[in-house]
Amino acid sequence: MASITVRNLDPATKEALRRRAAQNGRSMEEEVRHLLGALESSETVNIDGSARSTAAPVVSGSLAGRHILLIIGGGIAAYKGLDLIRRLRERGAAVRVVLTSAGSQFITPLSVGALTADRVFTDLFDREDEHDVGHIRLSREADLIVVAPATADLMAKMAAGLGNDLASTVLLATDKTVLIAPAMNPKMWDHPATRRNRRILEKDNILFIGPNAGEMAESGEAGAGRMAEPLEIVARVEEFLDQSPKPLAGNKIVMTSGPTHEPIDPVRYIANRSSGRQGHAIAAALARLGAKVQLVSGPVNIPDPQGVQTVHVETAEEMRDAVEQMLPADAAVMVAAVADWRTKSESGEKIKKKAGKGPPSLKLTENPDILAGLGHHKLRPRVVIGFAAETNDLEKNAKGKLQRKGADLIVANDVSPETGIMGGLKNRVRLVTRTGVEDWPEMSKDEVARRLADRIALMLEEAEA
Ligand SMILES: Cc1cc2nc3c(=O)[nH]c(=O)nc-3n(C[C@H](O)[C@H](O)[C@H](O)COP(=O)(O)O)c2cc1C
């Protein structure tokens, strides 16, 4: 729905609508939109003001109940603005969009409106818009204003304090935080004028995300200037609007995640099927609870977790060294599937297949036991947690591991192929401590991460007492 204009209603309906809007503190057009939205979510609504819900409204999501005003400027990256709307709405945010005149050369108000399920604001002097919402309300009713893409022109207007179109006027009139995602040709980004504007905007407490470096969509050039990806922007918005409790604030937690690769020769290596999903999810969950998380990640194909300082390594020995460098820490959570063995001597050259000679034999040697090293370390963290991936005798092996490695908790999971856990999205874990075993039902790896992060907060609190 690109726009709604409330006209030509019979007087009784109009009066009922006016009353309902006044009761709910909305404009009449907003009320109509609300009614239409409620119809879509099968809420039974009567125009006289009563509403009976037959389906639970969507209140979940990290941004539920949050209002974002998104300003889309006139750059090639405007198309990413459409994805950004989707991602924000998926997380429960209500998104209103101001599309600049140049922005509408790249994407249409129709597609923006279809994605926001709201009207799209384009013109400072639109009588209907100004009467109904107005640029001042637009600028104040959001929890956060996001400008993506922020063109060089928009940045210059902001820095100069211009208000010669709806976007710049809203940005001038707002009392809310503004987060901008610049996107432009690298030469424009590096121009002394843009650099000057950046400094001014930073001084004005405008938040920046990106730009990233890489190929430019339009020019075949490369360098700094690519707009941050929509998911990166969403993560920043979530971080900014997050008001959840931070029980792990002030705690440093060292983590490992993913597999290790143990080289055989320059092209071959010994690996395992760990995807890093569980470890990365735990790192992100701990960071969301306020911990300073330092993660040593083996080779994985997933992005670094948000808000986590991540170091990338390949081998078990590199992982051990990186963990050592991160000590002291309050807690250690060792999730990586570290290879137990590596080749005794890595061949400097690719091992050749020799006719009639049969396969070469690999001599293996034991890798360092990173978890045991931490459990018995002179700088042992107050809480040490390890993961045990087993295919048989899960509990017995986990209990043995707890003792041998000097850990406080072993999270045991059955990684037999039929479980689909290794590399999959779900997990079923058992928590083994010195006092007992707790069996958790199957849940997503994200949910395991959330619950485990809460448990770690509790363990650290108890360890302090
Ligand atoms: C094809 C094309 C692509 C453009 N891409 C960008 C861009 O990525 N970043 C930028 O700052 N300006 C870009 N421009 C220039 C802006 O569109 C121009 O400066 C415009 O006035 C910006 O308007 P705004 O302030 O509404 O964003 C581009 C222009 C054209 C014709």
**What would the DSSP string read from start to end of 439-464?**
EPPPEEHHHHHHHHHHHHHHHHHHHH
Residue bearing the CA closest to ligand 1, atom 28: 75
Task: Say which of 46, 212, 251, 272 is annotated catalytic.
Answer: 272
Residue 7 has pLDDT above 80, yes or no: no
How distant, in Å, are the alpha carbons of 1, 13, 34, 35 from that of 118? Answer: 6, 22, 10, 12
Q: Which residues line ligand 1 (CB under 6 A)?
A: 73-77, 100, 102-103, 151-154, 183-184, 188, 218
pLDDT digits (tens, 9 = 90+) for 73-87: 999 999 999 999 999
pLDDT digits (tens, 9 = 90+) for 351-363: 888 888 888 888 9
Helices (H), 117-175: 127-132, 134-140, 152-160, 166-173
| Other Cβ atoms closer than 10 A to 119 | 24
Topology match between the domains 67-241 and 252-343+362-464: yes
* Amino acid type, 332: A
Mention the CATH class of domain 67-241: alpha beta
Residue bearing the CA closest to ligand 1, atom 5: 75
Residue bearing the CA closest to ligand 1, atom 6: 75
Judge whether 83 and 89 are in contact, CB under 8 Å.
no
* 10 — pLDDT class (breaks 50, 70, 90): low
* 50 — pLDDT class (breaks 50, 70, 90): very low
pLDDT digits (tens, 9 = 90+) for 20-44: 766 666 677 777 776 766 554 443 3
Taking the CA of residue 77 as reference, the ligand 1 atom at the shortest distance is 8
Mention the CATH class of domain 252-343+362-464: alpha beta
Nearest-angstrom CA–CA distance, 168 and 183: 17
> What is the distance in A from the centroid of ligand 1 to the CA of 4?
29
* 399 — pLDDT class (breaks 50, 70, 90): confident
272 in active site: yes
Residue bearing the CA closest to ligand 1, atom 29: 75
Between the two ends of the chain, the Cα-to-Cα distance in Å is: 57
> What is the distance in A from the centroid of ligand 1 to the CA of 357?
65
* 129 — pLDDT class (breaks 50, 70, 90): confident
Judge whether 34 and 117 are in contact, CB under 8 Å.
no
Nearest-angstrom CA–CA distance, 50 and 44: 9
Nearest-angstrom CA–CA distance, 103 and 81: 10
Pocket test residue of 76, 154, 172 for ligand 1, highest count of atoms within 8 A of CB:
76
For the chain, the structural domain boundaries read: 11-53, 67-241, 252-343+362-464
